Amino acid sequence: MLEEFKKYKITYGIIGINVIVYFLVALASGDFIDFNTRFLVDVGALFSPIVVLHDEWWRLFTAMFLHGGLTHIGMNMFSLYLIGRGAELYFDTKSYLALYLFSGLLGGMASLYMHPMGVGVGASGAIFGIFGALAGFFIANRDKIQTHTKAFMKDFAVIIGINLVLGFSIDSIDVSAHMGGLLVGIMGGYTLSKSRKLFIPFCITMIVLMLAIANFLPSQYANQMF
């Protein structure tokens, strides 16, 4: 068990943080199964108008570690358990963390753009980013591992198709956050698989992109809401 934890310490560490936050929120709310939307906003969920018009951009980070209920966190952490361990075999610690965080943050920004009055929580954008990073890795190395790449990309297409169908069928699923995280993950996974020297340029690019979006969104909201 200890060897397993050491081998996948980042994945298990992120799962552990999410579970601890969930239990703290559950204790504060008095409900361990489902959380009230208003309460989630009070403890750090994304609420688009507050984030964009009142500069509470820190919610992009806190919302990544909040979940709406037991089913929500269970599904997300099981997905991370399955996907994250695979990614941890192909990416070093700093690359994995950067891919996870930037995918989650930019997935949240995609949600802000698509849902000007929305409330959002969950690690889905970040998890989809890790899934996308695996796709980026296989694409970058397709000449070396052709058989594995074809098999993975087939599974990748099926999973994305299923998630799109579910996302457009169930109102509570935020497809925009999923797709935003996924695109960041694919781009980052491909870039970092090509060369570890591209880590700093990748991070700078993501930060500049986030600043550009943060600068654009207030005027977009003003046009839509006033």
Residues 134/90, Cβ–Cβ less than 8 Å: yes
Q: Is 219 an annotated catalytic residue?
A: no
Provide the pLDDT for residue 144. Answer: 74
Residue 226 confidence (pLDDT)? 53
Catalytic residue among 95, 124, 176, 193: 124
Which has more pLDDT, 134 or 223? 134
Q: What whole-number percentage of the chain has pLDDT above 90?
A: 59
Q: What digits encode the pLDDT tens for the residues 31-53?
A: 999 999 999 999 999 999 999 99
Residue 124 is among the residues annotated as catalytic for this protein: yes
Instruction: Give the domain 2-225 fold.
Output: Rhomboid-like fold (1.20.1540)
| Calculated CA dihedral for residues 18, 25, 32, 36, nearest 10 degrees | -110
The pLDDT, as a whole number, for residue 170 is 47
- Taking a C-beta distance cutoff of 8 angstroms, is the pair 133, 185 a contact? yes
Q: What is the pLDDT of residue 188?
A: 97
Cα separation, 117 vs 111, in Å, equals: 10
What is the reported pTM? 0.90
Place of tokens 């570690």: 65
> Would you kindly state where each structural domain of the chain is located, as residue ranges?
2-225
Least confident of 89-98, 105-114, 152-161, 174-183: 152-161
Nearest to 160 by CA among 191, 140, 185: 185
